[in-house]
Each structure stands twice: as C-alpha cells, then as structure tokens.
Amino acid sequence: MIRVIADWYRNPQRPPYPDKPRGFELAQLGLDWLETFLNPTAKVLLLEQNMPLFHLAADLALELNYIEQAYFILERSKSRSLVEQLLRERAELSSQIDEQLRTQYVQLSTRLDEFVNQLVGNTADSCFFAPITRTVKRTPKQEAQLWQEQAVVEQELDKVRCAIAEQDNAFGEAISPCPLESEQITRLLPANSLVIAFDQRPDYLHLYAITAQGVHAPLRVELKVQQVTDRVNTFRNNIIHDKCVTETNQMSDWLTSTLGLAINQLLNIPQPKKKRPNRFGLFSRKAAKTANWQEIIFIPHQAWHLLPLHLFKIDGELLVEHYLVRYIPALQVLRLLHERKPAKPGKGCIIANPDGTLPTGQMEGHSIKNCRPDDVLLEGSQASLKTVRQYLETAHHGHFGCHGFFKPDLKAGLKLADGSLEAKELFTRLRLPNPRLVVLSACKTEPPIKPTLADEYMRLVSGFLFAGAHNVLAALWHVDEDSTRLLMENFYQGLAEGLSPTLALQRAQRQLKEMSSETVQARLQTQKVMSIKPYEEPYYWSGFVLLGDGV
C-alpha cells in the first residue's frame, strides 16, 4: 500500500487535485500501521528506514494547508524513535510499578518477540519501501492464524501498558505516547512565548513558529543536512582547542548568516492577545498584536541540538541578550512536564568529583554547598550509584560536578564512584519525584559527531526530564572551569533570591560577561593577569543552556 502511495507522489503526471486528501489519509494509515509494528530484534531503527513515509505525510499535509498536522507528524517521528530504543534495549520498568504488571509486561513482550520472529524473521528490518522476505513457508491458513494470535497478544500488551502508564506517567509517555492536540498548545505556551521548531530534511530545513494561537506555516531554508553536519564537525573539533573563543564567535556569525532572514521573520510574527473565556467558558481567538516576545523556546532537530542557537544575532546583538531563552526536546516532553505536580521546597544533592579525576568539580561542589548549606554534599567515593539514587528520590534539585560520556542506544551517562548512571535507567526505572532542577556542570559529555534521528530525544538531558526533573541545565561544550564556577555561584544566588531558572541563568550570564578582572581575581583567589573583562567573550558565559519548563 505504501509503495503505491510513494509511486503516486513521485509521478509527475499526478493530478494536483483532488487526490491529495486521499493520499494524506492513506499516508496517515501507514503511520498508524507502523506504530503497531515493533521489531525489537531489528538492527536499524524502523523509524530511520521509514522516514520517507513521515516526510511524505508531512509534505501532503503542508500542500493541503494542514499546518498543525504537518508539525505533529514531526513530533510523532521523535516519539517513535524513543519507543524503538526502549524496546530494543529491553528497558526495565520502575520499581514503583506493581510487580504483577512488571511480570505481565515482560512475558507479553517476550511472546510478541516470538511472533515477530516467526512472521518476519529474527534479523529482518521491516521497511515500507523494501520487500520483506521470509524463509519459512506456511499455508495461508497457518499465516492467518499466527497473525490472529499476535493481534491478541498485542491487545493484551496494550492493556498492560495503559495500566503501567497510570502508575508511571513518564514511562507511559515514552513507550506509548499520546498524540498532540491543537488545544494543548494553548495550555502549554504563554502568550509572550515563541517556539521555533526545526525540521531538518535531507535537502532543506523547515522552521516552524509555534505560539499560543497554534502552529504557523513553516519557512523553508535551503540548507542540506550534510552542510549542517559538516558545520557541527568543525565546531566540535575547534571548540576543544585553542580556537574555542574564535570558533564560538564564528558559529554565531554562521547561524546569523544562514538563518537570519527566516528567524527575523519568525520573530516578527504578531503576538496573540491574552485569551479570555466567553460566557460559555470557551476561548475565542483574539486579534494579534505587534510582536513583543519575552521568551524564545527552541526545539532543535538532529544535528541542530549540538549548536548554540541562542547566539543568533539581531542587529548585532545576541538573541540571548534580547530574550529569555530555553530549549525543549519536543512539545510532547513539555506536555509531560506541565502534567507533573510542582516541585516542593526541600534539600538538594550535590555530587562532586565522584571518580577523583575532576578536582575543579570538587571545588565547585563546595562553592554550591556554601550557597545552599542545607544540601547534601557527596564527594569522591561517597557518590556511589546506590547513594546517589537514594538521595535523588527526595532531592529538590541535583547538581552533578562529574564527567559524562555519550554512547548510542541510551547508554549516555554520568561517571559516579562505582559505575555510571545511564540514560536508559533515567527513561525507565529511576524516578525523581521532587526535583525542580538538575544541573550537569563540569561534565565532559561527548555527543556523537554524526547525529542520528534519535539524538535530540535520547540525550542524557532528556532522560532526566523523563525521570522527573522539571528543568536541566547542561553545557553544549567543554566549558572553561573557572568561568563555570563563577557562573554557577551567580546562578544559585539568583535561585536563592526567588528567580526562575531561566531568569537566574540569564542574569548569571550577564554578570559573568560584565565581571571585572578585580572581581574575578578576588572570587577565584588568584593573582593571574587578566584583561579588563576576562569572560566577556560568549565562549565563557554562553555554553550552558536550560531545557525544560523554565519554572
């Protein structure tokens, strides 16, 4: 069926009307079918094999002016990548789920694997645009019987997943995400917030503007994915050497020259007026007013999540100097955060230099402890996996001054005293019931040079958001140790004064940028010769980004 749709779409003789609606309907049916087909034994993500189907559906939606549906298809592809990773990695369930449900989930998942192996093959990778060959011959009756038995198992597994989701909302969202709906956007976004969402195709980039009024038609930028990947490679290679200051400035210039026209158009989209319910309790769409955005929210895609999008320039000044800026992996993740209860005030947990190889992390840990004297400080061997898990279960926030690493298949992690806290555990088993904020400071995280479709949804940061954190503060590159220490001290001071994490970060960045050499020397207790404003360059103060709800 999907091959027929693809051939129809590519045919230059296809009529412009009226078969597009039917084509879109069939493409959506294909996406629905893909969600029912999960092959945990596949070596390649089915999403990556079948991405042309997602592109086809989105293109048809745009041609039909179904703008929101086109964007929702992008969100759907992101959630699909997470589902496949969790299934393939045999992710364990949280201990807060009833043991009976955990047992049923494992048993039914195993039975479903057996049916997939029988019907498709244990190494097959199903793709709509490639034929599936089977080595075992069966009669049509035998084949039909197997499909029927598999359908029964799938129905039982769906019931178990729904029951699990009631006990663990994050796992439910990860393994069986609910589609976004138009009215949810209004509830998720304040009237003064503008979302800029990236959709990187092989040959071009789409930029969506999303406001409280809904999703706006995307702007097309002629930029191939290979061009972006090459620029990311250059940036990642130069930022760790002596060219770090120059490379950060050059990246800012590249972002401005590449995206300048499109981003400026998005920033000038009229801002929606505040909506008020009418006498029936319903919200009507009010006329928009002149753009006066206070906050920009970036949703990167593929390689874009490795770049400092907030360093885009407006009239010669950086975007982050004009607006509050935060990032989110997807609107579906933001919805998950909004559905959580607000974090309660409480003590935090500071993890400092757990493997003994990061002395500056230990110094920073003591600085944070001075700012937050009630927090628990775990140094060196004290920061074992068991102990860290125990404190995270009740902590109001967590601060990690340690090394991190990236590996594919949900194996990104943080190095603790006796092992690693990996992303897979955060997505599935470890739950953080009360954290307002998780800070990943002084972490030498190594993202992949060749990003995959799943990266922005699978990163360690996203794992903490799924585990229960409302916000995560993390670095885009290996940051300067001294400037990071000062930035963190100012950031925590802002939180202590009642600022939101977004405002606290913005103020800390400004303070660090304008900080005099005398102040730096006094606070770092050093006589090192410095320029008048030692950390004025963006490399020193702009490396950290906030991901989450910003509250």
Q: Helix axis angle, 331-338 relative to 460-467, nearest 10°?
A: 30
Same domain, 361 and 505: yes
Whether 477 contacts 545, CB under 8 Å: no
Same domain, 157 and 14: yes
Please report, for the domain that includes residue 486, its CATH number: 3.40.50
289 Cβ contact partners less than 8 Å away, ≥ 6 residues apart: 270, 271, 272, 273
Residue 322 placed within a domain: yes
Same domain, 378 and 517: yes
Residue 333 placed within a domain: no
Residue 381 placed within a domain: yes
Q: Helix axis angle, 481-496 relative to 501-514, nearest 10°?
A: 130
Same domain, 20 and 152: yes
Same domain, 243 and 354: no
| Domain edge (last residue) among 278, 300, 327 | 327
- What is the number of helices (H) and of strands (E) in the chain? 22, 19
Q: Give the residue among 113, 288, 309 at the shortest CA–CA distance from 214.
A: 288
pLDDT reported for residue 4: 56
pLDDT reported for residue 513: 97
Q: Where are the alpha helices (DSSP H) in 50-128?
A: 51-63, 67-88, 99-119
CA gap 466, 392 in Å, rounded:
14
504 Cβ contact partners less than 8 Å away, ≥ 6 residues apart: 491, 492, 493, 494, 495
Cis-peptide, bond into residue 18, ω within 30° of zero? yes
pLDDT reported for residue 284: 40
The domain tally of the chain equals: 3
Q: Give the residue among 551, 549, 543 at the shortest CA–CA distance from 320.
A: 543
CA gap 426, 175 in Å, rounded:
14
Please report, for the domain that includes residue 200, its CATH number: 3.30.420
Containing domain of residue 515, as a range?
A: 342-548
Q: How far apart are the first and last CA of the chain?
A: 46
pLDDT of 342-395, one tens digit each?
A: 888 889 999 999 999 888 888 889 989 998 999 999 999 999 999 999 999 889
Same domain, 14 and 75: yes
User: 542: which 2 tokens?
Assistant: 């702009």
Q: What is the pTM assigned to this prediction?
A: 0.88
Q: Give the residue among 177, 185, 199, 180 at the shortest CA–CA distance from 427.
A: 177
**Residues lower than pLDDT 50 in the chain:** 41, 43-44, 122-135, 276-289, 448-449
Cα–Cα distances (Å) from 354 to 125, 388, 419, 431, 485, in that order, read: 41, 10, 10, 21, 17
